[in-house]
Amino acid sequence: MPLPRTSRMEQEQLSNYVLLVGDANVGTVIYMKPENRVVHVRMTASNTVTIELPPVAEAVGAFYTVRVITFGGGVAIRDKDDSLEWSDKASDANNEFGLFYSDGFQWHVLVTDL
């Protein structure tokens, strides 16, 4: 059975929801928007990339997942220096992930193996 067709608007919403990070982004900072709820990182190069979570106040009530499928030279996850008691997270292996929640004042790390 074929998959149902999605409208252009639905495709755009999905592409905003999932952010894919690859070797083209190596050595840079990827600034997440509040609508980017899932980030998949696939890197083969040995450089690092930094993922910056969206502003904690704009992300209130939302969950965000960062999955490092292949890490290349390393992946760092940071906030915008707007969260209480935050410390940066780092991935140094394949298949690591973090689940983050914003209460509007602070990022909470719910699950992580970073």
Six token digits for residue 75: 């992946």
> Which has more confidence, 89 or 23?
89
Prediction pTM value = 0.81
CA distance 48 to 85: 24
Per-residue pLDDT, 25: 61
Domain ranges of the chain: 8-112
The residue to which tokens 């592409």 are assigned: 15
Nearest to 67 by CA among 91, 101, 103: 91
92-113 pLDDT, tens digit per residue, is 888 999 999 999 999 999 998 8
CA distance 53 to 104: 13
Q: How confident is residue 9, by pLDDT bands cut at 50, 70 and 90?
A: very low
Average pLDDT score over residue span 57-86: 91
Q: List C-alpha distances in Å: 5 to 8, 9, 17, 26.
A: 10, 12, 18, 33
Q: State the pairing for strand pair 75-78/49-52.
A: parallel
11-69 pLDDT, tens digit per residue, is 444 556 777 777 656 668 889 999 999 988 888 777 788 899 999 999 999 999 999 88
Per-residue pLDDT, 12: 47
Per-residue pLDDT, 75: 87
Per-residue pLDDT, 52: 94
Strand order of the sheet with strand 63-71? 18-21, 38-43, 63-71, 96-102, 107-112
Per-residue pLDDT, 46: 77
CATH dotted code for 8-112? 2.60.120
